[in-house]
Structure 1
């Protein structure tokens, strides 16, 4: 088609040239002289014979060459149209990709902006707390220098309000005792096994990412066994759900804070609530909806032993005051593995049993007079049970202590903070001398200070 159009234009061009234009030619004669010839076409004759015929043929050939070049260019242009279409499609795809990248960057920017706002809010809260601490007077300086307080229970409970947070505790009789009765001479940082003197402010290490982390278990093994674990390894279980089986392992506290688990183990049987603990290379936990205790070996990743805890209440029969099916709470301290629970025989009072860490058999048991559903949490330190009065009050106390060495208990009042107002787990780690807690999505630790025991023995 393009060739026909080109030939048609060539015909018109030649005809117009032949009718309306004159031509000038230059030729050499036999003697080498240059002859110029000016030719005007005749309006009557379409052609004539003579030497000008060759010149006209040369002109026609020249114009034909030009037409062929034009046709070739047109044909190439037709093919190039399809190539241009493909190029346009490629450009459209590239534009779409850039648009998507831009939108993703915009979303990332918005997400980072929200995180910055949260961090700024947290920083402002910390600054307010620091200012409050600076302005608050220290109550201990009002007492005699070098004296500490010891509390002994009275017979009748009384309602008491501390910083507008009401809670139930036993009436205490305050007696001044010299510091030497509780601390070694000249050593205020006693590292031996003794009574709990104070608990520091909570230090945040990680916040849970989803609703399954509203409450759970997180801790470190104070006496690890196995080539892959140390006392820096962190273990975590998100305990919200009907089929809790995932156990997250983190190499150390830094990786835990960043949320980068090095391994995820799937437990063979589901976990009940927040009473699990880790000790000597094993995870100890209560099987869901049962009084069965399970020792899960972390090296072989298999169940090593199991035992039904005799007469123990389970699945909401004798929980802590916050609920959560916390009937059986397993704990570890300097003296070994413990179970904190209750029975129908004890009528809801806390029972403490020391367990064999291999077989889970009960070695010895103690029945206290502390009602389990009246306290929020409990933990063991140096063979002594300590209970937390409230899980929701920001400023509460550790209000009872029971000593298994003497089978005696008494009311105490050691300040304790639930900074995030829903503390569902408190466990002691004797290797790091810290309490580990899970407070409303937040995983925190508290430094603890111990003094010399009042009684002989440990």
Structure 2
């Protein structure tokens, strides 16, 4: 037995000497507890045994991964001719990717440059317009001095009203208690029936704004005031330039308005959008900033009493007049009541006229016209008819279009109209005064109008 064991060991050593490090010796106990020695020798003739274990496959995979890692290391180190050509191919692909990225960034920079050039040109045009306005102001020093004096008087008056002269406030309250019939000229109580617009007179200047916030705005008189607190003689004004427009200036009459002496300044609880506001029956109607919400502000109680989103109306620059200014919703008053002039996406920018309930702001009825809102400078209502101004800058333009809500008929007209100061941002009609009120490039003006079959215009 010992001899046989020695022979097996010598045979194993012979094989081990041939295979060297490809052989291994292990020792373990069998199920009966006997010690068993096991030699393992790699056969150089067979790469794998049929039905071999998964461990051999794992070893083979590990070997292949080792070879791949070695190949990658040689490629990185640049060793070997084959590795060098592979590295060159990899380098070429990287260069191409880098070139494509640089080209993409260059094209984007060119687009950005074109966009910036466009903005620079727009700013240059704006600067040129402001320079022309400044030159025009320099050429009229007397008017500037008068305007400054008016501003000084207004500021002094406001300081006195808010902080010092309380007796002045009490005197104003006493004057307001006088019946309106004693304050309003008899000629303004009533007027003849409605008719079509025949002519518009030359603009009459009543006031010039003092600062840049008065570039454009809205001003008006209430054609149908209720009660003695405010009358048809009361003048209302809002400077519409600014991000948070809330101040409503109140003047006792046109004389105090021209002198720049407000009797009161109301601060609205919600900001105003643009120049579409109006006053009617002791309420201020206006559009809330950056929304299609209409508001009714009671001027007597100084509180908001109604609000409503105008259905589907564009706002904040979607469908303005041609001069811009976020004039998407323009509120107007005439002999038939309260109106809204606006557009919707469904109308594709065409003017829609809606009659509103003065209390709730609900839409009573709407009419869609064929004229695009951004093609006209402004619009107003007279006797249930919509009229549009062709241009807001041309000194001699026309009222070029009329739509009748009573007959659903429209027609082109040519009633001469003057933009004396060449930037008309607001045109509204007052049926009690039979005048158009306008805000033309810092200047607050009125126009007498004449309607067909109603006699001459009223002063």
The 5-angstrom pairing of residues 266-281 of structure 1 reads 266-281=267-282
Q: Which has the higher contact order (CA 8 A, sep 6+)?
A: 1
> What secondary structure, in the 3-state scheme, does the structure 2 residue paired with 1:212 have?
helix
**SS, match of residue 268 in structure 1:** strand
List gaps (5 residues or longer) in structure 1: 1-112, 120-189, 454-458
1:230 aligns with 2:231: yes
- Distance in 2 between the 1:202 and 1:311 partners? 36
Please give the residue correspondences for 1:272-421 in structure 2 after superposition, counting only pairs within 5 Å. Answer: 272-421=273-422
Shift of 1:225: 1.5
**Offset of 1:227 from its aligned partner?**
2.7
Which structure 2 residues correspond to residues 99-178 of structure 1 after superposition, within 5 A?
A: 114-115=141-142
Deviations 1:258-277 (CA, angstroms, capped at 9, x unpaired)? 00000000000000000000
Structure whose residues are more often strand by fraction: 1
Please list the CA deviations of residues 10-44 of structure 1 after superposition, one character each: whole Å capped at 9, or x if unmatched. xxxxxxxxxxxxxxxxxxxxxxxxxxxxxxxxxxx
Cα deviation 1:62-109 (Å, max 9, x = unaligned): xxxxxxxxxxxxxxxxxxxxxxxxxxxxxxxxxxxxxxxxxxxxxxxx
Q: CA offset at residue 448 of structure 1?
A: 0.1
Indicate yes or no: 2:425 matched with 1:434. no
Deviation (angstroms), 1:118: 6.7
* TM-aligned CA distance change 1:116 to 1:232, over 3 Å: closer
TM-score (norm 2): 0.58
Judge conservation of contact 1:391–1:418 (CA < 8 Å) in 2: yes
User: Structure 2: how far apart are the matches of 1:116 and 1:263?
Assistant: 26
> In the alignment, which residue of structure 2 is the partner of 1:253?
254
What is the alpha-carbon distance in structure 2 between the residues aligned to residue 309 and residue 117 of structure 1? 42
Inter-CA distance 227–423: structure 2 relative to 1 (3 Å threshold): same
DSSP 3-state at the match of 1:232? coil
TM-score (norm 1): 0.58
Deviation at 1:228, TM superposition (A): 1.4
- Measured against aligned partners, the alpha-carbon deviations of 1:379-409 in whole angstroms (never above 9, x if no partner) come to 0000000000000000000000000001111
Q: How does 1:142-221 map to 2 (within 5 A)?
A: 191-221=192-222
Q: Residues 358-382 of structure 1: CA distance to partner in whole angstroms, max 9, x if unpaired?
A: 0000000000001000000000000
Over the aligned positions, Cα root-mean-square deviation in angstroms equals: 1.5
- Distance of 1:433 and 1:248 partners within structure 2: 23
Query: Does the 8 A contact of 1:191 with 1:450 survive in 2?
Result: no
- CA distance change for structure 1 residues 256 and 343 in 2, over 3 Å: closer, same or farther? same
Displacement of 1:192 = 2.0
DSSP-derived class of the 2:422 partner: coil
Aligned pair count?
271
Structure 1's consecutive aligned runs of 4 or more residues displaced over 6 angstroms after TM superposition are 116-119
Counterpart CA distance in 2 for 1:227 and 1:278 is 16
Which consecutive residues of structure 2, in runs of 5 or more, have no partner in the other structure?
1-139, 147-190, 455-459
Q: Is the 8 A contact 1:336 1:354 kept in 2?
A: yes
User: Per residue, is there more helix in 1 or in 2?
Assistant: 2
Deviation (angstroms), 1:427: 0.1
Distance 1:428 1:397 in 2: 16
Structure 2 CA distance, aligned partners of 1:421 and 1:351?
A: 27
State how far apart, in whole Å, the 2-side matches of 1:298 and 1:315 are: 26
**Distance (whole Å) between structure 2 residues aligned to residue 383 and residue 292 of structure 1:** 23
Query: Which secondary structure does the structure 1 equivalent of 2:271 belong to?
Result: coil
Q: Is the 8 A contact 1:192 1:450 kept in 2?
A: no
1:117: Cα distance to partner?
8.3
Q: Distance in 2 between matches of 1:117 and 1:361?
A: 45
Partners of 1:226 and 1:299 within 8 A in 2: no
Report the secondary structure of 1:358's partner residue. Answer: coil
Residue 116 of structure 1 deviates from its aligned partner by 6.9
Distance 2:192 2:219 in 1: 24
Q: Helix, strand or coil for the counterpart of 1:256? A: helix
Distance 1:361 1:372 in 2: 22
What SS does the corresponding residue of 1:245 show, helix, strand or coil? Answer: strand
Q: Tell me by how many angstroms 1:115 deviates.
A: 3.1
Question: 1:193 and 1:259 mapped to 2: Cα distance?
Answer: 34
